[in-house]
Amino acid sequence: MAIWLFKTEPGDYSYADLERDGHTVWDGVGNNWALQNLRQVKAGDRALIYHTGKDKAVMGEAKVVSDAYPDPELDDPKMAVVDVEPVRAWERPVRLAEIKADPALADFMLVKFSRLSVMPVETTVLKRLEKMSR
């Protein structure tokens, strides 16, 4: 099981929307590097949901319930999507400023490549973020 961070603009689709819907197709990824990452996502993987825009915070966790597959809405087999379901909203969102200020997270891809919309998360990073969320 891998761990990923998925970014979303909360005005377009927020973690609260995912909780309300109970399931969604995670789509709209256009960056080649992010798409390469998304194509590696498998059913059973964990996904941290990160709000961009003014929030800039990890808001909660989702479970990936499908392997990556071609976006059925687009006529381009390179464009991938996955299905996700909510697991839990975090007690307290972990803001990007906190993440950047923590020396233990200096190598986290979110710090180094902040514009990448799908990225892997190391287990040690996940544990640190979970601790920060309490």
> Rounded to an integer, what is the distance from CA 18 to the centroid of its chain?
12
Query: Diameter of the chain by CA atoms?
Result: 43
pLDDT for position 44: 98
Q: Domain map of the chain by residue range?
A: 3-132
pLDDT for position 60: 98
pLDDT for position 124: 98
pLDDT for position 64: 98
Please tell me the distance from the alpha carbon of residue 31 to that of residue 80, in angstroms, as a whole number.
11
CB 46 within 8 A of CB 4: yes
pLDDT band at 41 (very low <50, low <70, confident <90, very high): very high
- Terminal Cα distance for the chain, rounded: 24
CB 117 within 8 A of CB 128: no
Q: In this structure, which topology does domain 3-132 adopt according to CATH?
A: ph1033 like fold (3.10.590)
